[in-house]
């Protein structure tokens, strides 16, 4: 038996019928249109809308949520196999066999996302009204947020990969704009640039995948591709799967494209909560689950997904253990939790539904904790160093309680939310491969350690505040969304797991298999809880009961490595940046000396002195001619070599 012995099965073979949207379902397009119009008004109308712009942004997002709820109710009214609704808007491209309509697909999977995006999105809009109240560019901020919501909805509602790609680029753009929102800070500008570059690498994967799909299946629609995926050759499925995985790695900050997420915390905290925790970074999970049929047809691609998920899961957790910056610790945790989801998505039908379940619940508790962190920062003069926090439970009672809900949820303590999804992932992983199962178990223990460390350093122990800080509770407009999210973190998992309600709801789209375990199904939850308790106690003792040094101790090798993001940047630097820098330096030199060029400095343009331009530009025509001759030789050689 191979280490990943899960048999390749096609659980979702009986694809649900697709219904053309009628009645209430004709409102699907409104979901996207509302925030899009909001963004257009806010970004185009300029300063005139400064006074009320944020309310308009909130209204657009909330209206979209109301539509989502209406659609959800309508969908519940349909029988299980009638729930896939497709709304045809117009033909985008139709040339011969290449036919790309703008169709929106609302099924159980996209419905889940739509509710998460608009629901959590609206709460975060509300929170931002308070959080950004002192920022003079608040209107622009809401414009970007609306743009993000619209793009993300397009991403999950698209009925073909090309349209999905449009949304994919859209969320990337919004994320880039929001990370760099405070672009006057160098670190924010650099972080946004990094996010852009890394995401482009992922986008290459998606565009290659789409083109391969078109060539293999002659279609880029979900139905055309996924319906015939089981008939394609395994090799082409593997290539498409790996290209999709590359795309997912970029967007979801998975190894080896993980490095941008930690830096992305330079963006305002509501952005970190919405985009870099709850929604956008989970787009990779969506992509893989949606493309499940392709991964079902290729075991190597599926195993690659598992490996990537497992590595990131551990990396993120280890990084989270060593960070003193509260947002970066949370970002490490996000990486790690998405690693869980990716791993689950790689398990196949046994894991798809739980990947999405965990994604949803993670959306709640991580957004809760990020907003909580924002509330703490709000009270601490925007300080993020947890070594200067401590004992905040005394002054920020509501933040403390709500954060505690998130903390218990991510730890997976029953009956808090995380328990129900994470436990199932561990079970499913174990049923496919003991190695993957062990990784998820150990990950749970480490998660308990770093989250407890974060929680204890922030809210317990002694106050280590700097002198000029006077912590205080945040205004209701910020606390209200947190409270809702805290409530969801506490009970959503339990409620949605009643009678397997959520998993059954998703089953028609994702398929479902019961994990087969070699031992009693009670073993794993108990083992997980024991590991979690050990991890939590190990963190609680030093960080809550003993004095925490205000300057980080040197730490051992692993700690130092984790503080440096496990040398992710160093690796990037050595592999990509240095050679790139040498290359550009050489190119500049080449361009100056060999080619030509009024490139350097201000010479030609500001001076505008023809004399100088002349000195730089004389006598090179012959070298151009020479290289043309060389080119001609190259052409001739290429032609002759083929004949040989």
Positions touching another protein (CB under 8 A) are: 46, 91-96, 98, 162, 165-166, 169, 180, 183, 189, 193, 196-197, 200-201, 203-204, 207-208, 211-212, 214-215, 583-584, 587-588, 591, 595-600, 602, 604-606, 608, 610-611, 613-614, 617-618, 620-621, 624-625, 627-628, 630-632, 634-636, 638-643
State the number of CA atoms in the 13 A half-sphere of 397 facing the CB. Answer: 0
DSSP letters along 250-285, please?
A: HHHT-TTS-HHHHHGGGS-HHHHHIIIIISGGGHHH
Minimum CB–partner distance for residue 32 and another protein (Å)? 13
- Tokens of residue 327, six digits: 């947002």
Are 442 and 529 in contact, with CB atoms under 8 Å apart?
no
Q: Between residues 46 and 434, which has the closer beta carbon with respect to another protein?
A: 46
Q: Between residues 195 and 446, which has the closer beta carbon with respect to another protein?
A: 195
Q: Between residues 172 and 316, which has the closer beta carbon with respect to another protein?
A: 172
Minimum CB–partner distance for residue 248 and another protein (Å)? 16
Please give the Cα distance from 446 to 463 (Å, whole number): 26
What pairs with residue 101 in β-bridges? 91
Q: Between residues 47 and 546, which has the closer beta carbon with respect to another protein?
A: 47
Q: Between residues 79 and 605, which has the closer beta carbon with respect to another protein?
A: 605
DSSP 349: T
Dihedral over alpha carbons 308, 311, 314, 316 (to 10 degrees): -60
Distances (CA, A) of 137 to 38, 187, 243, 374, 601: 16, 19, 38, 18, 34
Closest C-alpha to 166, from 342, 45, 36? 36
Q: Which residue has the tokens 């497709």?
A: 86
Minimum CB–partner distance for residue 622 and another protein (Å)? 9
Q: Between residues 3 and 631, which has the closer beta carbon with respect to another protein?
A: 631
Closest C-alpha to 406, from 444, 438, 363? 363
Minimum CB–partner distance for residue 215 and another protein (Å)? 5
Q: Between residues 2 and 97, which has the closer beta carbon with respect to another protein?
A: 97
Minimum CB–partner distance for residue 165 and another protein (Å)? 6
Minimum CB–partner distance for residue 478 and another protein (Å)? 28
Q: Between residues 222 and 403, which has the closer beta carbon with respect to another protein?
A: 222
Please state whether 619 falls in left (phi above 0), alpha (psi between -120 and 50) or beta: left
Minimum CB–partner distance for residue 17 and another protein (Å)? 29
Minimum CB–partner distance for residue 394 and another protein (Å)? 41
Please give the Cα distance from 237 to 225 (Å, whole number): 11
Q: CB under 8 Å to 572, separation ≥6 — which residues?
A: 259
């Amino acid at each position: 038996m191979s280490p990943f012995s899960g048999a390749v099965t096609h659980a979702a073979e009986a694809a649900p019928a697709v219904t053309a949207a009628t009645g209430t379902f004709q409102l699907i397009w409104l979901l996207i249109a509302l925030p899009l119009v909001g963004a257009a008004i806010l970004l185009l109308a300029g300063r005139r809308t400064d006074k009320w712009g944020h309310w308009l942004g909130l209204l657009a997002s909330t209206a979209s949520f109301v539509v989502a709820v209406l659609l959800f109710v309508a969908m519940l009214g349909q029988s299980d196999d009638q729930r896939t609704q497709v709304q045809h808007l117009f033909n985008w491209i139709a040339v011969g066999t290449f036919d790309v309509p703008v169709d929106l697909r609302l099924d159980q999977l996209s419905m889940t996302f739509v509710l998460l995006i608009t629901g959590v999105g609206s709460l975060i809009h509300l929170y931002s009204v308070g959080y950004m109240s002192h920022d003079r560019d608040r209107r622009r901020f809401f414009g970007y947020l609306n743009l993000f919501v619209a793009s993300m909805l397009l991403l999950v509602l698209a009925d073909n990969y090309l349209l999905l790609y449009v949304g994919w680029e859209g969320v990337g753009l919004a994320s880039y704009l929001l990370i760099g929102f405070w672009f006057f800070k160098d670190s924010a500008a650099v972080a946004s640039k990094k996010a852009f570059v890394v995401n482009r690498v992922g986008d290459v994967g998606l565009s290659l995948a789409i083109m391969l799909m078109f060539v293999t299946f002659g279609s880029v629609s979900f139905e055309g591709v996924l319906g015939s995926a089981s008939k394609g050759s395994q090799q082409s499925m593997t290539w498409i799967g790996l290209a999709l995985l590359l795309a997912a790695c970029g967007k979801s900050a998975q190894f080896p494209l993980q490095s941008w997420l930690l830096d992305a915390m330079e963006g305002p905290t509501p952005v970190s909560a919405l985009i870099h925790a709850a929604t956008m970074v989970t787009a990779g999970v969506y992509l893989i689950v949606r493309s499940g049929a392709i991964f079902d047809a290729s075991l190597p691609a599926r195993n690659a997904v598992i490996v990537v998920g497992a590595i990131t899961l551990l990396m993120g957790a280890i990084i989270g253990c060593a960070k003193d910056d509260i947002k970066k610790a949370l970002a490490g945790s996000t990486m790690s939790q998405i690693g869980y989801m990716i791993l689950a998505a790689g398990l196949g039908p046994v894991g798809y539904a739980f990947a999405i379940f965990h994604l949803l619940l993670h959306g709640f508790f991580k957004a809760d904790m990020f907003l909580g962190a924002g509330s703490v920062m709000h009270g601490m003069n925007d300080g993020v160093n947890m070594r200067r926090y401590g004992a905040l439970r005394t002054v920020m009672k509501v933040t403390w309680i709500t954060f505690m809900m998130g903390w218990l949820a991510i730890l997976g303590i029953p009956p808090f939310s995380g328990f129900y999804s994470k436990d199932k992932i561990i079970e499913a992983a174990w049923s496919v491969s003991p190695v993957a199962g062990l990784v998820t178990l150990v990950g749970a223990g480490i998660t308990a350690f770093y989250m407890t460390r974060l929680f204890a350093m922030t809210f317990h122990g002694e106050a280590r505040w700097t002198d000029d800080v006077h912590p205080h509770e945040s205004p209701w407009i910020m606390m209200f969304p947190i409270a809702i999210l805290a409530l969801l973190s506490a009970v959503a998992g339990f409620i949605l797991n009643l009678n397997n309600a959520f998993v059954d709801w998703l089953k028609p789209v994702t398929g479902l298999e019961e994990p087969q375990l070699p031992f009693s199904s009670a073993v794993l939850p108990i083992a997980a809880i024991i590991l979690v308790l050990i991890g939590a106690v190990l963190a609680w003792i030093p960080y809550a009961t003993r004095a925490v040094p205000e300057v980080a101790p040197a730490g051992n090798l692993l700690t130092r490595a984790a503080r440096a993001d496990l040398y992710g940047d160093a690796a990037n630097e050595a592999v990509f940046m240095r050679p790139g820098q040498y290359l550009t330096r050489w190119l500049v030199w080449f361009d100056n000396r060999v080619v030509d060029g009024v490139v350097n400095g201000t010479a030609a343009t500001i001076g505008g002195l023809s004399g100088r331009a002349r000195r730089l530009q004389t006598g090179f025509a012959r070298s151009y001619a020479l290289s043309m001759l060389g080119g001609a030789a190259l052409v001739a050689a290429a032609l002759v070599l083929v004949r040989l």
